[in-house]
Chain A
Amino acid sequence: MRQNRMLAILLGVLATLVLVVGGLSAVLLLSGKGGTSGTTTGNNAGGSGSTAASGRLRLPGTDPSTMDPHLASDSTSAEYIVEVFSGLVTISPDLKLQLDLAKSVDVSPDGKTYTFVLRDNATFHDGRKVTTDDVKWSIERAASKQLASPTAMSYLSDIVGMPEYFQGKAQSISGLEVMDAMTIRFKIDAAKPYFLAKLSYPTSFVVDRKQVEANPRNWTRKPNGTGPYVLSEWRLGERISLTANEKFYLGTPKLKEAVYLISGGSALTRFENNELDVAPLSINDIERAQDPGQALNKLYKQTPQFSISYLAFDSSKPPFDDVAVRRAMGYAIDRKKISDVTFKKMLAPASGIMMPGLPGYTTDVKTLQFDANAAKAELAKSKYYVGAPVAGKTAMPTITLTEVGGGASAGTDTQAYIDSWKNILGLNIEVKQLDFASFLADQSAGKLQMFGAGWVMDYPDPEDLIDLKFHSKSALNENHYNNPAVDKLLDEARTLADPNRRLDLYRQAEKLIIDDATWLPLYYTVAHQVVSPNVKGWIDPPMVLPRLRFLEVTR
């Protein structure tokens, strides 16, 4: 009897589980059906009568960390933000600085005053006209103490009075002056030729005051921007849909809708399954795409990116206080061979610090090229000895290379460098892997003797790389590089009006930096993708830029 009761209870439990699972699956199936078959329409894109925009582009995506242009500091977020919002100036896919919300800009002879006049037809997505009050309010919001934007000081601090405002010592930014509803004047602290390029960054984008004030925490779910696309749907972890803003002031975008699919497995599998129009290629797929005999090869595109990886030496820490040690290690690594073997040629060996396409870049090779004998000769010049003691020299201190990583072993390329240093120079270098947050903490505390890192350009001007990373006073000079000759060149380049002479100064600085071997530039990033034949005029710029409106999808 008791066993029957027990059996009954157990059966009951089982039945409940079955019911729960059954109900669950029904819900899932229904919601899944709604998700895949329903076409999404923009909240204010329809009904305008214009049918100029057409086509639907399906891209792989990631949830942005924010849709707020004033807070974003990562390229994932920026990719959406540059389509939904806009600012006074922008950068075109061929990297030219162009007017955007502004129809004209007048620079004073001393290079310190910029007067912008807005376009008459520039509106927010809801149809409201953009005025200079919107521009001023937006920039003051971005620079405000309350918002505490991580990018404000980097992008806006050239404006007179901005640092005081950011610290809460001023009521407004004194260098921002509204002349009339359509004219606004910016005063900057020195004639900086790269100031306009900085203004193209989302920190200076225009947001809708009314919307932000009405809903400070959640307005970014349905932002009322001024850009070519409207954020029509954002389902966390599932999809983001951008729909063409048919009233866009530079003309109706060609592409009607872009859908970023966030969940799901391998992008290439989904591409081949016709679920995506574009897919990045991983190292597992690259050989297939590069094989001319494969169907995928016809759809394969590779584009260089404004991004570089490097190893950095802290010259305040032995043995890197000795330039000979740094140079020896530089000569001992074979970028090309390592790229061919471990990266299957997916990355381009760095020929300098400035990457291809960047103003100032030259094609000649500047980095220390692999040469085992030169490496040994450099090490012999050093004040440290390796192996048997040498009179008058000090023993080589322990060297630890720190990199971001989750595993116990070094990255495949790091392992190859370590082997080269061991085989050619007899150096035993330890690798320490840290998670990103701990790495940053140790880096900013100046604890890293040697580390691997990368840099992605924010705007196409060498100042954003050479000055920020190598000026002895820059907060981003993480390996404490200090060369007065370099500082002098960089100081001069900051305010030089002649663009050719200015780029030349950066090239001279680059040469000095490479000869000092404070960085071993490793690779330029290259994007490898397959793009559906339905996409016409595919653009993959080397940095994040508005591009959707130039694309066409035939389907």
Chain B
Amino acid sequence: MTAYVLRRLLWLPVLLLIVSFATFALARFGPGDPIAVIAGQVRDPVVIAQIRADRGLDRPIPQQYLTWLSRAVRGDLGESYAQRGFEVSELIFPRMWISAQLGLVALIIVFAVGVPLGLLAARLAGTWMDPMIIGTLLFLQAIPVMVLIPPLIWMFAVKWQLLPVGGWDGIFALYWIAGVIAIPIPNPHLYIPLVAFTLPGFVGVARLVRITALEVNLEDYVRTARSKGLSEMTVQFKHVLPNALLPLITVVGFALAGIIEGAFFVETLMGINGIGRMTFEAVTSRDYDVILATTVVFASAFVICNLIAEIVYGFVDPRVRIGGSSRS
């Protein structure tokens, strides 16, 4: 087990090396130049060439990459082109923190809504409610985040003026009752982004839970439990749910990837200063070092999350013994 985890972790640097070189080369070969972007409207080609030379952008790409790499392994991710005087790490970590909070809340909602919905659909299998729920879910899942957000903003923020248009103001807001008692409520700034964020996720979870729950419902031990005269509640939560949840653990990894991916659209469209929006802005301004840093961070997060999912899976399901050591 430990050996397996270690082996997987040893692969991480190799993976990051590949990812970082690919990103590095893509950015350098792509059109556009960070210096031209930061130069403003008075762009003298001679000056731009001079600045490029000073920043080492005129050297061969492999050489540039090695320079970046030798700094990066020492923890220096470089300096932002778009925000000069700021180290990349100073810029990305506060914004990763914002995205992490948002992502965590989204992840909780995905499971908190998706699991009961899936169980309900499975329970109603054979009635007209089941295809209706699943049909609705499929329809919702088919709407891309990019398409979903503008009408949500238009309805709730512009037309009915119920919710703020966007922005980030923390996860919780204080709700004052009679101006005396303050209770923390989820910040209204987040309602639209969270709906857009979690919709594809919880629909996916609900559909998966429905299928596995349907299978589990046919198992002998469920029938036995029912025939023992246990209440339906007990059957669902003690016998069906734990077994139906098993495949979900693997989904956590994918759900997280989906949340990271969704962050690009949601944060950009909703004006949330998170890492997704920052990456988007960095790409548009060709802020090379920021693009690289965020890509590497995303890649690491992806690998580590999947690894954790595998490990948890191994703990939960004794049939899965990762690493080959048969210790039972």
**Chain A residues near B (Cβ < 8 Å):** 2-3, 6-7, 9-10, 13, 17, 20-21, 24-25, 28-29, 32, 63, 65-68, 71, 73-74, 145-146, 148, 150-154, 166-167, 217-218, 220, 236-237, 263-266, 269, 284, 406, 435-438, 440-442, 444, 455-456, 458, 468, 475-476
Inter-subunit contact B32/A145 (CB<8 Å): no
Tell me whether B82 is interfacial, beta carbon within 8 Å. Answer: yes
Residue of B whose beta carbon sits closest to that of A269:
B164
Contacts of A263 in B (CB 8 A): 167-169, 273
Listed by A's residue number, 15 A-B pairs whose Cβ atoms lie within 8 Å are A3-B242, A7-B238, A21-B105, A65-B38, A73-B40, A150-B38, A154-B44, A167-B50, A236-B91, A237-B95, A263-B169, A284-B158, A435-B284, A437-B34, A441-B33
Closest approach, in angstroms, between the C-beta of A267 and any C-beta of chain B?
A: 10
Q: Determine if B67 is an interface residue (Cβ-Cβ < 8 Å).
A: no
Partner of B172, one of A29, A148, A435: A29
- Complex CA gap A512/B31 in Å reads 35
Residues in A neighbouring B189, C-beta threshold 8 A: 265
Contacts of A6 in B (CB 8 A): 242, 316
A59 to nearest B CB, angstroms?
A: 16
* Beta-carbon contact of B167 and A437 below 8 Å: no
Instruction: Determine whether the beta carbon of A437 is less than 8 Å from that of B95.
Output: no
A32 to B86, CA, bound (A): 24
Task: Judge whether A440 and B36 touch: CB under 8 Å.
Answer: yes
Contacts of A153 in B (CB 8 A): 44, 46-47
Establish whether residues B39 and A73, one from each chain, have CB atoms under 8 Å apart when the complex forms. yes
Chain A nearest CB from B282 CB (Å) reads 11
Residue B119 lies at the interface, judged by CB distance under 8 Å to chain A: no
B108 close to A440 (CB less than 8 A): no
Additional A-B contacts beyond A68-B84, A475-B44, A475-B46 (14; CB < 8 A):
A7-B238, A9-B316, A28-B170, A63-B83, A67-B85, A148-B50, A153-B47, A220-B85, A236-B91, A265-B167, A265-B271, A437-B33, A441-B36, A476-B44
Task: Report yes or no: B32 in contact with A455, Cβ–Cβ below 8 A.
Answer: no
Contact, CB under 8 Å: B285 / A436: yes
The answer to whether B239 has its CB under 8 Å from any CB of chain A is yes
A28 to B90, CA, bound (A): 20
Which residues of B sit under 8 angstroms from A458, Cβ to Cβ? 42
Is there contact, CB below 8 Å, between B32 and A437? yes
- Contacting pair A66 B84 (CB below 8 A): yes
Q: How far is the CB of B65 from chain A (nearest CB, A)?
A: 20
Q: In angstroms, how far is the closest chain A Cβ from the Cβ of B245? A: 7
B32 near A25 with CB under 8 A, answer: no
What are the residues of chain B within 8 A of A66 when measuring CB–CB? Answer: 83-85
Distance to closest chain A CB from B23 (angstroms): 16
Are B273 and A237 in contact, with the CB atoms below 8 A?
yes
Closest to B104 in A: A21
Residues B50 and A13 in contact, CB atoms below 8 Å apart: no
**Is the Cβ of B43 less than 8 Å from the Cβ of A25?**
no
- Taken together as a complex, chains A and B put the C-alpha atoms of A263 and B184 apart, in Å, by 20
**Which residues of the other chain, B, contact A437 by a CB distance below 8 angstroms?**
31-34, 36-37, 284-286
Find chain B residues with CB under 8 A from A264 CB: 167-169
- CB pair A29–B184 under 8 Å, yes or no, is yes
In the A-B complex, the 5 residue pairs with the closest CB atoms: A437-B32, A73-B40, A265-B167, A150-B39, A265-B164
A3 to B324 alpha-carbon distance, docked (Å):
24
Chain A residues contacting B312 (CB-CB under 8 Å) are 13
A145 and B50 form a contact (CB under 8 A): yes
Looking at the assembled complex, report how far the CB atom of B275 sits from the nearest CB atom of chain A, in whole angstroms.
12
Kindly provide the distance from the CB of A219 to the nearest chain B CB, expressed in whole angstroms: 8
Which A residues lie within 8 Å of B172 (CB)? 25, 28-29, 32
Query: Within residues 145 to 188 of chain B, which ones have a CB less than 8 A from any CB in chain A?
Result: 157-158, 164-172, 174, 184
- List residues of chain A with CB within 8 A of the CB of B199: none
Residues of B within 8 A of A148 (CB): 47, 50-51, 54-55
Smallest CB separation, B144 vs chain A (Å)? 14
Do B94 and A438 touch across chains, with their CB atoms under 8 A apart?
no
A156 to chain B, nearest CB (A): 11
Measured between C-beta atoms, what is the minimum distance from A199 to chain B in Å? 15
Which chain A residues lie closer than 8 Å to B37 at the CB level? 436-437, 440
Q: B284 contacts which chain A residues (CB < 8 A)? A: 406, 435-437
Question: B45: CB under 8 A from chain A?
Answer: yes
Report the Cα distance A5→B20, complex, angstroms: 42
